[in-house]
Amino acid sequence: MDIRIERTTRPSELPSAAELAFGRVFSDHMFRLRYEVGRGWHDPVIVPRAPLSLDPASSVLQYGQSVFEGLKAHRLPNGKTALFRPDIHARRFRASARRLTLPEVDESDFVESVSQLVRVDDAFVPTAAGTSLYLRPTIIGTEGFLGVRPSRTAEYFVIASAVGPYWQSGRKPLRIWLETELVRAAPGGSGAAKFGGNYAASLLAAERAKARGFDQVLWTNAVGHSVVEEIGTMNVFVRLGDTVVTPPLDGTILPGVTRDCILVLLREWGIRVEERVVGVDEIQRAATSGNLVEMFGSGTAAVIAPIGRLGSERGETTIGGGPEGEITRRLYETLRDIQSGATEDWHGWLVPM
C-alpha cells in the first residue's frame, strides 16, 4: 500500500507507566482505509486520531456489522519495537470479516497498516516492564440504509492505546462463576468470530457475576450447559492431574492467539495436553477427588489469568488449594519474557519493526 501520512501538529506526551490504565491512553494517530463495492479498498492514510462521521442508518449502528482484532507491540531491550504474531491476528481478522459478510483485508495489508501506525506513534510504545502498545484494527459497515443485507461500503481503521500491566493491583487468582442460564455462543453462530455483538451479549452475565462477588463467568454450552467453553472473553485451560485440557475449536470458541502459544509451549515442555470437550461434572468430580490442580484463562490483554475459585449454584470450589498453579505461572513468565525480548524467541513470534 502507498500510505499517505498526515502527522498531528499537536503531539501529546506519553503518561507515566502508573497512569496507563488499560484502554484509556490513546496514541496521536490512526490508520484509515475505505471500501466500496466495485472499487475495493482505497485511499490508505494515517491521520491524527479523530471521531468518525457516520450516517445514523449505517449498518454498523443498525445491524451490528463490525469485527475487530487486538494485538500488541512491545519495546525490546535494544530500544526497537516488535509486533507479537501479527500474521495470526491477520488471518483471524479475515475469518471474522468473512463470517460477518464484511470485506476482507489482505493479510499483508493488515500487517503493513499496523506496522506503519506503530512506526508513526513509536513514542507511545512504553518501556516499563509489563507495558505495551495495544492495537485495535476494526472493520465497520458504513452504508446508510434500512434493510438486512451486507453493507456495500465499509471502513477499516486501526487505533492504538498505550497500556500498563493488566493486573494493576498485582496478579491474583480470579473467582469465576459457572454460567448455566445465559449463553455466549451456539453451534452455527458467530462465537468463533471476533465480533462486537458477541461481547455486547456477554455483558449481562459478567455484571451478574460481579454482583455475586465474582470476577467473571465460565461459559457453558448452549444446549444442556454441560460442558465448559470460555472464561469471559478468554480461552480456558484446566489441569486434571498431569494433563492440561482445553475445549476444542468447534465453531463456538474464539481461536485465541495466546491459546495457540500455550499449546505449542506445553507440547515442547513434554506436558500432556488435550483439545477436547471438558464437562462440568468432570471438573466437579476432579475437585472432589483432588485431581483439579489448576485452571487459567488466556488472552492478549491478560496473557494468562490464574483461577483460584469456581462458584456455581452447587457452591464454591477451591482450585488446587487457591494459589496460582505451577504451570500457570511458568506459562505467564515465559510468554511475558518472549514478548518483552527478555528471552530468545525461538518460534519467530516477534516481528521486529
pLDDT tens for 196-246 read 999 999 999 999 999 999 999 999 999 999 999 999 989 999 999 999 999
- Burial (0-12, 13-18, 19+ Cβ within 10 Å), 108: exposed
The whole-number pLDDT of residue 171 equals 83
The whole-number pLDDT of residue 331 equals 98
Domain 174-340 in CATH 1.10.220.10? The answer is no
* Element (DSSP H or E) covering residue 282: helix 280-289
Is residue 142 within 8 A of residue 100, CB to CB? The reply is no
- Classified by CATH at the fold level, domain 4-165 comes out as D-amino Acid Aminotransferase; Chain A, domain 1 (3.30.470)
The whole-number pLDDT of residue 16 equals 92
> By C-alpha distance, which of 82, 85, 71 is closest to 264?
85
Residues of the chain with CATH 3.20.10.10: 174-340
Residues 54-62, mean pLDDT to the nearest whole number: 98
Q: What are phi and psi of 102, to 5 degrees?
A: -100, 155
Residues 115-120, mean pLDDT to the nearest whole number: 98
Residue type, 115: S
Residues of the chain with CATH 3.30.470.10: 4-165
The whole-number pLDDT of residue 340 equals 95
Dump pLDDT digits (tens) for 322-347. Answer: 889 999 999 999 999 999 999 999 99
> pLDDT > 90: what percent of the chain?
93
The whole-number pLDDT of residue 271 equals 98
